[in-house]
Structures are given as C-alpha cells and as structure tokens.
Amino acid sequence: MKRPCNNLILYSKIMIFLMLFLCVNSQLTQNFYSKTCPNLLKIVRKEVQSAIKNEMRMAASLLRLHFHDCFVNGCDASLLLDGNSNTSEKFTPANLNSARGYEVIDNIKTAVENACSGVVSCADILAIAARDSVLLSGGPFWKVLLGRRDGLAANFSGSSNALPAPFDPLNTIISKFEAVGLNLTDVVSLSGAHTIGLARCTSFDSRLRNFNGTNSPDTTLDTTLVSELQNLCPSTSDGNNTTPLDRNSTDLFDNHYFKNLINGRGVLESDQILFSSDDAMTTTKTLVEIYSNNSMVFLDDFVNSMIKMGNISPLTGSDGEIRTNCRVVN
C-alpha cells in the first residue's frame, strides 16, 4: 500500500531535480540585455571590426582571450584582472607575452558603459567579441547566450595548470578539456580556432632541432616546413618571431587547419598530435579527417563547442558583479 506514495515522492524529487537543472541551464539567454542595453551587439561589433581592421591578428587574440578565461574559474573575466606576477592570470606561462587584446576589451567596455552604465559584464563582452572575431574572419555566426557576471578574483594557480599547453601530450589535453566538461569533439573542433592567428617561435622551436632529445626535428613535421621554420627561428633568436598557425589561409576562418595536420604542417606540437600521435589513431584522428573533408561539419561542431565552452560555470544572479573597469573589481 506504501508503494504508490513512495513512487509519488520519488517522482516529485525527480521533477524538482529537473526543474533545478533547467533553471540553472536557462540562466544565460540570447536576449538578456534586450531591454537594459538594446544596442549592445552593435556596439561590440563596431569596436571589434575597428580593431580587426587595424590588425587582422586581433581576431585570433580576442577569440583566445575568451578561451583562456573560460578554462579558469569558468567564464567570469578573471583573466582581465590586473595584478602582480603572483596573482594575475596575465602572468602565468600560458598568458605572459602571449595573451593579448586587453586594450581592445577596454575600448569595448568604455563604449558599452557610455551606452548603458553598470549593466553589461566583461565576461559577456568577451563572449560576444569572440563570436564577432570568428564571424568577421569569414567564420560562422551563432547567437551568444548572455547573462554572465564578473568574478571577484583571479586564479593564478588555476591558470598555471588548467590551460592546455603547446607541449602537452594528447591525453593531458583531453583531460584538461574533460575537467571543464568538454569532450573529445570539443578538443578537436576548438583546436580548429588555430585556422587564424600567429604562433611565436618559443611555442614550437623545440620541434625544430632536438625534439625530445633526439638531436633531430620532430618527424611528424613536414621537412619543408622544418626548413622554413628553422630560418624563421634560428637557435640564436629571442623566440619572438611569429608565423601563421594556418599557412594556407592565414586570416580566413576555414578548415584548412585540418588539411595542414594531415600533411604534417601543424605548427604547434599540440596541433599535430591530434592527427599524428599514437594516442590519436582511434580518437582525434578520425575527427581531423572528417573536418578536413567537410568544412560544414567542422563549423557546426565548432559553434556547438563554443556555446558549450561559454557555459562553463558562469556566475549569474547575484553572484559576482558587473565590473565598471574590466581590469579591477569595483
């Protein structure tokens, strides 16, 4: 006689759980600022367009800021906080002398504040700027979910450990993605962001001469590309020279990055291992082949992965704050 009651209680608990789950996942919405800052998207687009017109590389830099922010503390703009070399995420190995575009975000924030003061978070500005950077590079459009709030502190140790590095083995990269709720498809599709942007010699010169103590270049790297990169990055250089990550179409957001991997022309070790690593034979290699043959599949998966990444642990409701200046807490 008690079973119906027990079943009803169980059913009620399940429904409460589902309602809470849906509530949490519906806190970010496409029209979050439709009344409080109706011209937001136009303002951000104008500023991003101006920045890219001034320097095409900035598209990749703004996209990377969003990526490096979301992997640490979630998408809360903690990366933008200034500080000293022991506190600010800007000084960690993944970001120091590498992450850039902070001044562009400052300009966007100023323009947004002039239109609607104290309303739009820096975290949301990063998400919109990343989308616009892809779109203005010839890539896909997607509707950005909004409603994030800004974090109150940076996470130096998290930034030092959570972000994938150019020298990480494939299993480590996959583990870092899984730690923030992203899967194997997300690993490969988001790596495709390297279809735009540049890499400094310091991020790949270990592949050019004495790779893993072999006294020879990385054998997965095309020999012609080895020669070109050795000339660009002599052993006596300071490591600051740059080369396009996608030498087929430097500034165009397309699937040539994956064609490069198949031909051994992935500049970063972390790119090439998606296709050439022994660990990739039954995992990422298949996706690389699919994306190289079908740009629409890549672009669709990239959009889905960007939306997932933008949903990593956002602060919403009364958590965090809306920073007036993206570089400091209020």
DSSP string, 158-226: HHHHHS--TT--HHHHHHHHHHTT--HHHHHHHHGGGGS-EEEGGGTGGGTSSGGGSSS--TTS-HHHH
Known binding residue 158? Answer is: no
For 26, which DSSP code? Answer: T
Known binding residue 72? Answer is: yes
Known binding residue 55? Answer is: no
Known binding residue 246? Answer is: yes
Query: Which two structure tokens, joined as six digits, stand for 166?
Result: 């150019």
Known binding residue 83? Answer is: no
DSSP SS3 for 312: coil
Q: Which of 68, 109, 149, 308 is catalytic?
A: 68
Known binding residue 164? Answer is: yes
CA Rg, the chain, in Å? 21
Known binding residue 222? Answer is: no
Known binding residue 194? Answer is: yes
Known binding residue 238? Answer is: no
Q: How many CB atoms lie within 10 A of CB 11?
A: 10
CA distances in angstroms from 258 to 198, 265, 287, 298, listed in the order given: 16, 9, 9, 9
| Per-position b or e across 51-82, b if 16+ CB within 10 A of its CB | bbeeebbbbbbbbbbbbbbbbbbbbbbbbbbe
For 244, which DSSP code? Answer: E
Known binding residue 66? Answer is: no
- Any catalytic annotation for residue 66? no
Cβ–Cβ under 8 Å, residues 87 and 156? yes
Known binding residue 297? Answer is: no
How far apart, in whole angstroms, are the C-alpha atoms of residue 249 and residue 260?
10
Annotated binding residues, as ranges?
A: 69, 72, 74, 76, 78, 89, 164, 194-195, 246, 254
Annotated binding residues for heme b, as ranges?
A: 194
Annotated binding residues for substrate, as ranges?
A: 164
- Enumerate the active-site residues: 68
